[in-house]
Structure 1
């Protein structure tokens, strides 16, 4: 059986095709000229060069160099990759300005931004920012030498301890500063005026985007745009419901057999039961305050100079106030690669991760000491203790499973099932047969097996590219 849910490959092909067609349009001479002129309207100076665009997972950026030595970039979300472009851009601008005002984390300065409707270029929503000069990103500095750009990064197994502690330590300070930003509800920040923000919109997560893009989840199944959460338990319950909706609605590559479908269905029902019973929260943290959390905060979005000093942190679009359990979990990126993609399997990842975690917690504790000495932190605000406890208790895996729909199955059966429901007598692949008795009569009767097996033969696209230009779709 599959250890994780695969992406819907029909949706993935369509997503890639839409992105490619849109990017192709960018290279037309008239388009490039218009982009350059638009940047100059919002960044003063004598232009020298409009550089070739750079594409990331969700955005395309153009950099304009100026005679004064500075640069500006304009960034557009890619249709086909970004399912909620206007919302994504608005959220990122508001959180960047909030972080800039409340921390010393180096984030880009926003010169101008606008929605799709406010873009005279017809290229969708945009942000124009000052470019942060850098030598490389943190992922490159930590990656195994000899890996190509197309290879998935893996932490250099022979990385120098001094170098690792230097880089981990700076990143630890970023996480520490974010953890001090406390908000009363779970959701995305909206800037009201120059000095006021409110949690007024849903938490637009990385996972929500991917559920719609690669899991063909109908947009209507996500929380409403203006929906926020006053408790961690309510949010965990919503995430658990989305796991079930994902299995129900993904048309292709969701299951590979009847037993695989039953196994996935039972795991999601049991996870939902735990969430509804409040097993993922405590009375001291359930009602907040809640911490700022960025789904996409990882080494590839952290920029460093030639002295290995962090000079910028970019790509804040999937950032929101989240349950404390998220920020109390140690960062998954210590090995660069995610556990579900580790070449030797999740248990090998876990074993190696533990050794690197101790290095990270050591430098985090040192950063806490410095912050306390400078009056920026109270002793009870330390993160190192909660992170160690999260790892030892297995709460790390609860937060990971809640946020990662496509990794859910491997995490649930290997890390959560035994903890919450006791040791099983059978193998991991067959454990679901023991757990079926934990379901209600209605839950056992309503398994979606026949429907999912029928879908295995269809290979159709069940996707709602809501905000994509119709010209691109044709």
Structure 2
């Protein structure tokens, strides 16, 4: 039984081809020279070395060293991997400056930024920032030493508890500061003036990027506005789950019953959203909290003394429902529950013990902050975080955000939470729950099943034309 939605492999292959080819062209001598000259123009000092580019999941970065001992970093989004490059870049600039102004979280200092038309050789929108000198990242410090670079990271089960508490404690400080930032709408930030930011744009999420890239979802199906209510936002996310199943061309289902199982889960989740049962907060109208989809240990830079010196990659950050902030951080084990080698139940058991450690140090940090006047007692994060884990809200927000993990989470966690325990095996529980669907929804289900089985007969790329043409549009200008 396919427990979760797989990526569309045809779209994934195309995405990788576009990204890899574009990255390879960056090594052309003229391209490197243009990038280097551009960086020197916007960062004072005598340059000494342009380092080899480094490619991450969504971006490629170049570091230029200077005679004064400092460095600058310019970052471009990767075509094929980043589906909304201009929007992503503008959002990140605004939120970095917002966090810099309102917290003590160490974020990169932005020297210059611009659109594709303003970039060297038209490579793409860019951010030029001061490089944060560091020894390693938090993920490496927490990772199991026997795992190689090609392996997915997993928290070292034998890690020294004092080391773990010290690193968790620093992350607790960061989460506490972010939890104190509130905005009146759900959305991505725009800087109005030197001291004012507003959630003026739709919340651009990693999920939206991946739905277009690997779920072949048309852009027209995505949210286009901000949200003033948590319930309406959850309703929009539930609709995206339905659209995902409908539009993903390949690898979406492996049988007729697998399709029915996925359809029933999404319809029930949508029903819960419409009834306002997914949001736990008493105040549906906020305030809303700053949330970063990509805040995880690999984006936390530390020095040789294991002290955090920088937090990077804020591109998918927005004002979100407070339920997101109240959920325990999934990255305590480094690995996501849907990818845990022994399954979600094993992940949950291991996570439970590490969560207790995190909550312990979080409470200690909160006490210190209260004594120093930096936090009021009613701003504590530890209580809501513990409650979210205990009452299952953690899994609601996780399922809402994670399109490709949705099926595994829904049937293991949300179905029993909302519809009661069952003696029926998990893979057949949809047959029991189908009675909760209307006759119209059941008819729609059979239409989707027919569509999905027909699509399985022939594999083809289902990206929209603007996605297919992305590579040619992003080639360096000769």
Q: TM-score scaled by structure 2?
A: 0.97
1:301–1:314 CA contact under 8 A, matched in 2: yes
- Residue 376 of structure 1 corresponds to 374
Q: Which position in structure 2 is the counterpart of 1:334?
A: 332
Aligned with 1:248 (options 229, 246, 253):
246
Q: Which residue of the other structure, out of 273, 282, 285, is the alignment partner of 1:284? A: 282
Per the alignment, residue 468 of structure 1 pairs with 470
Following superposition, the deviation at residue 471 of structure 1 comes to 5.7
Show the 5 A alignment for 1:48-447.
Answer: 48-224=48-224, 227-282=225-280, 284-447=282-445
Contact 2:53 2:63 in 1 (8 A): yes
**How far apart, CA to CA, are the structure 2 residues paired with 1:98 and 1:145?**
36
Which deviates more from structure 2 when the two are superposed, residues 144-153 or residues 282-291? 282-291
What is the deviation of 1:469? 4.1
Cα 1:68–1:273 shift into 2, 3 Å: same
Structure 1 stretch displaced more, 420-429 or 459-468: 459-468
User: What SS is found at the alignment partner of 1:168?
Assistant: helix
SS in 1 for 2:145: coil
Structure 2, gaps ≥5 residues long: none
- Note the alpha carbon deviations across 1:165-202, whole angstroms, 9 max, x for none: 00000001000000000000000000111111111000
Quick one: distance in 2 between partners of 1:391 and 1:403?
16
Provide the rounded CA distance (Å) in 2 between the counterparts of 1:291 and 1:142.
27
| DSSP 3-state at the match of 2:405 | helix
Separation of aligned partners in 2, 1:456 and 1:372 = 58
- DSSP-derived class of the 2:404 partner: helix
Q: Matches of 1:19 and 1:285 in 2, distance apart?
A: 43
What is the rounded CA distance, in whole Å, between the counterparts of 2:457 and 2:213 in structure 1? 21
Provide the rounded CA distance (Å) in 2 between the counterparts of 1:188 and 1:19.
26
Q: Distance in 1 between matches of 2:281 and 2:205?
A: 25
User: Alpha-carbon deviation of 1:472?
Assistant: 6.3
SS in 2 for 1:121: helix
Contact 2:280–2:323, Cα closer than 8 Å, also in 1: no
Quick check: 1:18–1:472 contact (8 Å CA) kept in 2? Answer: no
- Alpha-carbon distance in structure 2 between the residues aligned to 1:282 and 1:209: 27
TM-score by length of 1: 0.98
Query: CA offset at residue 284 of structure 1?
Result: 2.3
> 4+ residue stretches of structure 1 with deviation over 4 A?
none
Q: Distance in 2 between matches of 1:424 and 1:434?
A: 9
**Structure 1 portions without partners, runs of 5+:** none
Q: In the TM superposition, what whole-angstrom CA distance separates every residue of 1:11-54 from its partner, at most 9, and x where no partner exists? A: 00000000011001100000000000000011000111000001
Aligned length: 471
Give the conservation status (yes or no) of the 8 Å contact 1:267–1:413: yes
Quick one: distance in 2 between partners of 1:450 and 1:117? 45
